[in-house]
Amino acid sequence: MKLNDISKQLSSSLEARMLLKHVAGLSDADLIGSNEIDLSPQQQSRLDGFIEERLQGRPISKIIGMKEFYGRDFIVSDDVLDPRPDSEILIEAVLKHVSSSNKLGSDIAILDLGTGSGCLILTLLVELPNADGVGTDISDKAMAIANKNAEKHGLTGRAQFIKSDWFENVTGQFDVILSNPPYIETDVIPLLDKSVRAFDPILALDGGADGLLPYKMILPQVKWSLKPGGMIAMEHGHDQCGRIKRLIEKEGFDQIRAHQDLGGKDRVLTAIHT
Ligand SMILES: C[S@@+](CC[C@H](N)C(=O)[O-])C[C@H]1O[C@@H](n2cnc3c(N)ncnc32)[C@H](O)[C@@H]1O
């Protein structure tokens, strides 16, 4: 099978390489310098199926079952949100806080509400080797993926996943609580790009009529589980910063800070429980 032929069908040489690697079980190195790969009839038929799925709009990550986040690969499926580059700002904000509060190397406890694939909590556990983490989700299927990712990254002993409607089954006190909750307004979901609305789970998208329902449920409960001096970090939609900041202020947090994405848009709010 010629790489150029697949590239032409998909209008993307990167995606062609990803599909070919996946189907033939090859590494990047295997593909260097080779433009033509011999496929078995079964591999060819799988590849044809994948190309068709891609042409129907299915994201490449959902086809190959893998998405990169913060430089590492995470298993994904139709049951979890594809990790997004925007969420790397949450990681940076937490790491900055841990470093500036002289807690690098300390035994810290992190809670991730709405963990999905587990990409946030697991990334933090790799970056902070002395930290332990709990990830919660209301979806059993998402937590099965999060557990697979914990295994993939050698973190099963340090990451625990529990089924919980936000704080319902959470016990203990944490140094950091983070969340990337669903924040799309219900009426806007049908207008989203097909790659999102048709392939990411509705549970990961729907933030209720005003998109703020999860924040209104989570924020009043944070202080019960956050140690004094601990940080809450929440991702939000590009136009929600002001409204969520007011919700955080209402709960009496200090040092509320907005963090911007690469395009300069507010994407994450952090605050300290004093
Ligand atoms: C936007 S996704 C974020 C997934 C992952 N943390 C990430 O950043 O890629 C939101 C997640 O919240 C979960 N969720 C939705 N409602 C929930 C609830 N009431 N309690 C706990 N988790 C919930 C969804 O199943 C989904 O996995």
Q: Is the CB of 213 under 6 A from ligand 1?
A: no
What pLDDT shows up at residue 167? Answer: 98
Q: What is the DSSP letter of 45?
A: H
Nearest CA to ligand 1 atom 13: 114
* Rounded Cα distance, 48 and 23, in Å: 10
Average pLDDT over residues 29-41: 81
Q: Which CATH architecture has domain 69-272?
A: 3-Layer(aba) Sandwich (3.40)
∠ CA 73-75-77, nearest 5°, is 140
Cβ neighbours of 243 (radius 10 Å) = 14
Cβ neighbours of 98 (radius 10 Å) = 22
* Rounded Cα distance, 81 and 180, in Å: 10
pLDDT in tens, 243-272: 999 999 999 999 999 999 989 999 999 999
Determine which helix (DSSP H) or strand (DSSP E) holds 111, and give its type and residue range.
strand 109-113
pLDDT-derived band at 60, boundaries 50, 70, 90: very high
Residue 60 amino acid letter: I
pLDDT in tens, 138-168: 999 999 999 999 999 999 999 999 999 999 9
Strands 159-163 and 226-235: unpaired
Q: Is the CB of 94 under 6 A from ligand 1?
A: no
Pair 178, 205: CB distance under 8 Å: no
What atom of ligand 1 comes closest to residue 179's alpha carbon? 6
What is the SS3 assignment for 252? coil
* pLDDT higher than 80, residue 185: yes
pLDDT-derived band at 196, boundaries 50, 70, 90: very high
Ligand 1 centroid – CA 16 distance (Å): 31
Please count the CA atoms within 13 angstroms of the CA of 136 that sit on its side-chain side.
19
* Residue 135, strand partner residues: 112, 161
* Residue 254, strand partner residues: 272
Please count the CA atoms within 13 angstroms of the CA of 121 that sit on its side-chain side.
34
Q: Is the CB of 182 under 6 A from ligand 1?
A: yes
Pair 163, 169: CB distance under 8 Å: yes
Q: What is the mean pLDDT of the chain?
A: 94
What pLDDT shows up at residue 9? Answer: 82
* Residue 110, strand partner residues: 133, 176
* pLDDT higher than 80, residue 83: yes
- The first and second tokens of residue 256, run together, are 């509320």
Ligand 1 centroid – CA 41 distance (Å): 40
Q: What is the DSSP letter of 161?
A: E
What pLDDT shows up at residue 3? Answer: 76
Residues in the chain: 274
Domain residue spans in the chain? 3-56, 69-272
* Rounded Cα distance, 67 and 75, in Å: 7
Pair 115, 90: CB distance under 8 Å: no
What pLDDT shows up at residue 274? Answer: 87
Q: Is the CB of 203 under 6 A from ligand 1?
A: yes
Average pLDDT over residues 44-60: 94
DSSP-derived secondary structure for 201-246: -GGGTB--TTS-HHHHHHGGGHHHHEEEEEEEEEE--TT-HHHHHH
Ligand 1 centroid – CA 180 distance (Å): 7
Best substitution site from 139, 162, 213, 261 to test ligand 1's pocket, by max atoms within 8 Å of Cβ?
A: 139
In 3D, which of 94, 103, 102 has the Cα closest to residue 70?
A: 94
